[in-house]
Chain A
């Protein structure tokens, strides 16, 4: 099955700086990679996703890059703001026979200090 590793586990950044979180996956057939943001006590919310037919996707201050050869994908947050403080999870499909079953990374606690 799919194995997803996420680094770093915690990330402190100064407001206005950039934050980068990296995930590696093991199954070369995986073709969809979402990123979720979870604030304390709340639901994970999809913030961006990427499919394997593209190498990069941007949405305002958030971008995701994918390197299929190296089997890793990264979340980039530019011009960080205090409201970006949360736990971020990456994910990859856990199997080829069904959709929706994902393996999640361990999470990254991002703290943006003013």
Chain B
């Protein structure tokens, strides 16, 4: 149980375009999902907390207008990287929890390359 699916796994886009990444909880409902960014050989950096039906909470230093998060249902959160630039190239991972006090489960990640 507690499977989190993320799509796409890889995406290459041109500078200035926008990219949408989807995160789905497949066998449970997730009122809260989290989005992380991971640089090569580095730890997971929390970008934002995505709450179903309300605005996301962004961590300090993360531009909310650049990284748009939508959590329209209990099983789907999306991250849109707007007007992407090469410095946005990274590994983006989502995670979700099934219930309070339950473990955190991660999606398979999205490798974004902006050319």
Where the two chains meet, the residues of A that have a C-beta atom closer than 8 Å to any C-beta of B are 32, 34, 36, 41-46, 49, 87, 89, 91, 94, 98-102, 104-107, 109
**Does the CB pair B44–A44 fall under 8 Å?**
yes
A101 to B56, CA, bound (A): 13
A64 to B30, CA, bound (A): 28
Q: B103: which of A43, A49, A87, A98 is its contact (CB, 8 Å)? A: A49
B112 at the A/B interface (Cβ < 8 Å)?
A: no
Q: What are the interface flags for B55-81 relative to A under an 8 Å C-beta threshold, 1 for contact and 0 otherwise?
A: 000000000000000000000000000
**Does the CB pair B43–A106 fall under 8 Å?**
yes
A87 to B33, CA, bound (A): 23
Could you pull out 25 A-B pairs where Cβ atoms are within 8 angstroms? A34-B103, A34-B104, A41-B91, A41-B111, A42-B109, A43-B6, A43-B106, A44-B44, A44-B93, A44-B106, A46-B103, A46-B104, A89-B43, A89-B44, A99-B97, A99-B100, A100-B34, A100-B97, A100-B104, A101-B34, A101-B49, A102-B46, A104-B43, A106-B43, A107-B43
Q: Which chain B residue shows the least CB distance to A106?
A: B43
Q: For chain B residues 1-21, which have a beta carbon within 8 Å of chain A?
A: 6
Interface size on B, residues (CB 8 A): 25
Residues of B within 8 A of A98 (CB): 32, 49
Residues of B within 8 A of A42 (CB): 108-109
Residues of A within 8 A of B96 (CB): 100
Residues of B within 8 A of A46 (CB): 103-105
Residues of B within 8 A of A109 (CB): 41
Q: A99: which of B95, B101, B106, B109 is its contact (CB, 8 Å)? A: B101
